[in-house]
Amino acid sequence: MSERIERTQTGIRIEKRLLKVLKGLAESLDMSVGDLIEGIALHSFENKPPFSPETLKKISQLKEVYELDWTAEHSHKFKEIGE
């Protein structure tokens, strides 16, 4: 199935180490960060895991490289520097 879609440019703010992990993962999967985020969101909307065990291993490696030690529980507790 090939759906025609319209994409829009957006400016999102995201923590820099998390972005590095997403960029590294997208690169390893040979896709753009935007395509990766779309896939994550669509899987999440259906309560389906977006990643295979192999991809989860890659994410773990990237998190270690970029010193990202957060979990989903941290996501609602972030505070910007200077707040």
8 lies in some domain:
no
Q: Please, what is the average pLDDT of the chain?
A: 91
Q: Which domain holds residue 22?
A: 16-68
81 lies in some domain:
no
77 lies in some domain:
no
Sign of CA dihedral 6, 47, 35, 20: positive
73 lies in some domain:
no
Are the C-beta atoms of residues 68 and 21 closer than 8 Å to each other?
yes
31 lies in some domain:
yes
For the segment 54-81, what is each residue's pLDDT rounded down to a tens digit?
Answer: 999 999 999 999 999 988 887 777 777 7
60 lies in some domain:
yes
Measure the CA–CA gap between 59 and 21, rounded to whole angstroms: 7
**The model's pTM:** 0.84
Q: Kindly report the number of other CB atoms within 10 A of residue 57's CB atom.
A: 11
Measure the CA–CA gap between 28 and 32, rounded to whole angstroms: 10
**Mean per-residue pLDDT, 47-59:** 96
10 lies in some domain:
no
Measure the CA–CA gap between 54 and 61, rounded to whole angstroms: 11
Measure the CA–CA gap between 20 and 25, rounded to whole angstroms: 8
Q: Structurally, how many domains does the chain consist of?
A: 1
61 lies in some domain:
yes
pLDDT number for residue 83: 61
